[in-house]
Amino acid sequence: MGDFKLSASLRGHEDDVRSVAFPHPTTVVSASRDGTVRLWKLESQSPPSYDSTIKTHTKEFVNALTTVPPSAEHPEGLIVSGGKDQIIDVRQPGKALDDNADALLLGHASNVCALDASADGKLVISGSWDTDARVWQVGKWESSTVLQGHTASVWAVLAYDSTTIITGCADQQIRIFRPTGQLVKTIQTGDVVRALCRLPANHPSGAKFASAGNDAVVRLWTLDGQQVYELHGHENFIYSLAALPDGQLVSSGEDRTVRIWKDRQCVQTITHPAISVWTVAACQENGDIVTGASDRIVRIFTRAAERHADPAAIEQFSDDVRGSSIPQQTAGNINKEQLPGPEFLTQKSGTKEGQVQMINEPNGNISAYQWSEGAKQWVNIGTVVDQAGSSGRKISHNGKEYDYVFDVDIEDGKPPLKLPYNASQNPYEVARKFCEDNKLPITYLDQVTNFITQNTQGATLGQSTSQGADPWGTDARYRPGDANPAASQPPPPKPKAIPQKDYLDITTANRKVILKKLKEFNQTLVDEGRKDVSFNPSDLEQLEATVTALEKGNEKGIETSGIDLIVKAATQWPADKRLPALDLLRLLTAYSTPVTYLASQQSILDLLAQSGVFESTSLANNTMLATRALGNLFKTEKGRAVADDSFDQLHTFVAPFIASNNRNLIIAVTTLYINYSVLLSSNNNPDRALTLLDDLTKILNTATDSEAVYRALVAAGTILSLGEDYCEAGRDVFQLNTAVARAADKVREPRVKSVVADIQKMLSS
């Protein structure tokens, strides 16, 4: 059988294609950072051409996708997608974009980054940054089974068969579960796991499934945890795996390649004109493969000559690869003087499929060539370039010259913010200043840093900053502070993170989606005959008006009747249906007028306490949103007054959760503590400060999430800044020195090191 060749290039997405599925020879499904899921249908056979329709369109990145096979209940099957908005969308392929989804699955507390469906069409498995994997029964969408035990993001999930589920995690472990949630086996891999795939029955290796991840190695395993063998060839993170019907494997990753593996050898390497090939899938009926990449294009490849693209399209693909720029940062250290010239390409053969050789061209450029074992020749795969911005051409902004001036879209309907940057600067410090100058939440810091580093290393300009930074497994990537300023130019001074001077809030939300879910839950209550708590049509109209006012930031349009309805649903509805109402309550507490009403007329803090949301038995997501609502009180003067007067009550609410391993909950708690530490700067209360310092010490001793650790450090440092008495208490009473050192060992980020150094200096003086 010959090599794979291009069959079709499918253009339409406006941002990175993060996930693809190939359920039928005539059907491809793709999900993108542009917020859409597209269904591609074969229109003509020779050469193959496809037409697409958008099936889902959200404001957030869509990162994960799977398809449920057809069944009696769902003759077309189902498309299941998820992403940054934490909601899993389930819909029939034949539905129009404006039609309601068959189901919207709530439960995850962070970005949904992995999805898979069982071959029998009965289960959907999801994985998330919230450290959970969940099992959903198809057609019984109201609840899910949590697969517990993960201590980091669940990057990969595999519905192996009806009794076996496999997960891959950033904590470097593979776990095998039963659908009931029972943990059967834990496999230590040695690095972050980002991809899993099931191997066909009777695979010649004897292995049952494959894994891959940050160490660029494909590993084959038995179900009892025995590694059969390793496949080496990729040069960077592997993001996706697929198995062909004949048992061969396909992998894709950040080295711009898709690789085909037979037995233990790489038999073909397909380089893409992109920074990353995020995803690959195989059609089990005809053996074709489909890829999605950072250049926004979906590509289909085939070994069947009758399905090849026309020769011009195949040549154009080759030209695109040859013409692509390879950032020098990704090519490693290159000594140009020691590189061979073009004669090497005719005098020497490669030693293995996919081998890369740098060539010093006569015009002074450095080109990369890749050995094709099938063609027995070196193939040009691009030109190595210095980092963008080093050409000397500058852009003027506010009277100064910069290598770059980016447009950053922070909020729909508002003009983009200007982000100037010079290649000699530290991206992390530029990002910090950008956030401070534009009064952006601290949560944007890593996102903006990643935006800068990606867009100055050859990535597509203009990517949205709404995607959160990869929270785990980035040891092989740039980390804030790694870039060395030019030797001739001193590094810019670092802005101090402590004392923190601004209050933080968590107010981003897709309000329409929240309202839609609340209405769905209300209908369930109506169907169950729960007239005591369900809403009538006029109530729903009032709720819609309230949400519209929130969406427009129209505080005067938020009527008390709408507030009453939100509070009722947030405190009186069954616990598993309170999430959307608590999310709306979280948005209400950021406005002065609702807070005044909630504090005086509703006694909202007492109602929350009575609802059980701060009990240990509460659903973690409910507690997290209620804690965010408390943190948002600090956004207004009236809210700060309520928080000030109710410190003891609020502390009683959240103190039991300072050792929580739920990432979003502990971040919500530390955000609240930062806000109280800022309030103390203008309203010093020694007892209160010591109470917070005690809790923060405990958090630093137990927390492992980088953002939670950082926020706890900032809050503690802000309190220490109040004076020597607090530093003495931190040293002698709470042993803060030990906790801070422990935190620094757990999170080795420059921003953490910087705050740790400042705190240690205060404690030692």
3-state SS, residue 372? strand
Beta bridge partners of 10: 298
Strand duo 325-327 + 377-385: pairing: parallel
pLDDT grade for 699, boundaries at 50, 70 and 90: very high
Beta bridge partners of 293: 277
pLDDT of residue 120: 93
The predicted-structure confidence for 221-235, as pLDDT tens digits, reads as follows 999 999 999 999 998
Of 56, 41, 32, 53, the C-alpha closest to 8 is 41
Predicted confidence (pLDDT) at residue 28 exceeds the cutoff of 50: yes
- Report the interhelical angle of 560-572 vs 604-611 (nearest 10°): 20
> Which is more confidently placed, 144 or 663?
144
> Which is more confidently placed, 166 or 602?
166
Task: Enter the pTM of the model.
Answer: 0.55
Predicted confidence (pLDDT) at residue 275 exceeds the cutoff of 90: no
pLDDT of residue 641: 93
pLDDT of residue 599: 87
Q: Which of 309-323, 369-383, 605-619, 657-671 has the lowest mean pLDDT?
A: 369-383
User: How many whole angstroms separate alpha carbon 110 and alpha carbon 130?
Assistant: 5
Q: In what order do the strands lie in the sheet with 366-372?
A: 325-327, 377-385, 366-372, 356-360
pLDDT of residue 694: 92
pLDDT of residue 486: 29
pLDDT of residue 159: 97
User: How many whole angstroms separate alpha carbon 658 and alpha carbon 669?
Assistant: 7
The predicted-structure confidence for 175-221, as pLDDT tens digits, reads as follows 999 999 999 999 999 889 999 999 998 888 899 999 999 889 999 99
Tell me which DSSP letter residue 337 carries: G
Mean pLDDT estimate for the chain? 85
Q: Which of 358-367, 470-479, 518-527, 574-583 has the lowest mean pLDDT?
A: 470-479
Are residues 727 and 719 in contact, defined by beta-carbon separation less than 8 angstroms?
no
CATH fold of the domain at 395-455:
Ubiquitin-like (UB roll) (3.10.20)
Are residues 91 and 83 in contact, defined by beta-carbon separation less than 8 angstroms?
no
> b/e string for 100-115 if b means 16 or more Cβ within 10 A?
ebbbbbbbbbbbbbbb
| % the chain with pLDDT above 90 | 53
pLDDT grade for 751, boundaries at 50, 70 and 90: confident
pLDDT grade for 469, boundaries at 50, 70 and 90: very low
Q: Which of 371-380, 397-406, 682-691, 710-719 has the lowest mean pLDDT?
A: 397-406
From residue 226, give the alpha-carbon distance in Å to each of 23, 186, 220, 230, 233.
Answer: 31, 11, 9, 12, 22
> Which is more confidently placed, 190 or 9?
9
> Looking at residues 664-685, what average pLDDT do you find?
91
Of 232, 164, 157, 146, the C-alpha closest to 193 is 157
Q: Which of 107-116, 147-156, 398-407, 552-561 has the lowest mean pLDDT?
A: 398-407
Predicted confidence (pLDDT) at residue 471 exceeds the cutoff of 70: no
pLDDT grade for 423, boundaries at 50, 70 and 90: low
| Domain extents in the chain | 58-188, 328-385, 395-455, 658-765
User: How many whole angstroms separate alpha carbon 590 and alpha carbon 450?
Assistant: 28
Q: Where does 129-248 show beta strands of DSSP type E?
A: 133-137, 140-147, 154-161, 164-169, 173-177, 183-188, 193-198, 209-213, 217-221, 227-232, 238-243
Tell me which DSSP letter residue 709 carries: H
Kindly report whether the peptide bond that precedes residue 47 is cis, defined as omega within 30 degrees of 0.
Answer: yes
pLDDT of residue 426: 62
User: How many other C-beta atoms can be found within 10 angstroms of the C-beta atom of residue 140?
Assistant: 10
Predicted confidence (pLDDT) at residue 284 exceeds the cutoff of 80: yes
User: How many whole angstroms separate alpha carbon 42 and alpha carbon 29?
Assistant: 12
pLDDT of residue 684: 82
User: How many other C-beta atoms can be found within 10 angstroms of the C-beta atom of residue 305?
Assistant: 8
Are residues 318 and 372 in contact, defined by beta-carbon separation less than 8 angstroms?
no
> Which is more confidently placed, 513 or 57?
57
The predicted-structure confidence for 411-421, as pLDDT tens digits, reads as follows 655 677 888 87
Predicted confidence (pLDDT) at residue 484 exceeds the cutoff of 50: no
User: How many whole angstroms separate alpha carbon 90 and alpha carbon 105?
Assistant: 8
Tell me the CATH class for 58-188. mainly beta
> Looking at residues 624-645, what average pLDDT do you find?
93
pLDDT grade for 290, boundaries at 50, 70 and 90: very high
pLDDT of residue 553: 85
Q: Which of 399-403, 463-467, 624-628, 734-738 has the lowest mean pLDDT?
A: 463-467
Q: Which of 22-36, 152-166, 434-448, 709-723 has the lowest mean pLDDT?
A: 434-448
The predicted-structure confidence for 386-413, as pLDDT tens digits, reads as follows 543 333 334 556 655 555 777 776 665 5
From residue 722, give the alpha-carbon distance in Å to each of 472, 604, 681, 693, 718.
Answer: 34, 31, 7, 12, 7
For the chain, the straight-line distance linking the first and the last C-alpha, in angstroms and rounded, comes to 73
pLDDT of residue 287: 95
pLDDT grade for 627, boundaries at 50, 70 and 90: very high
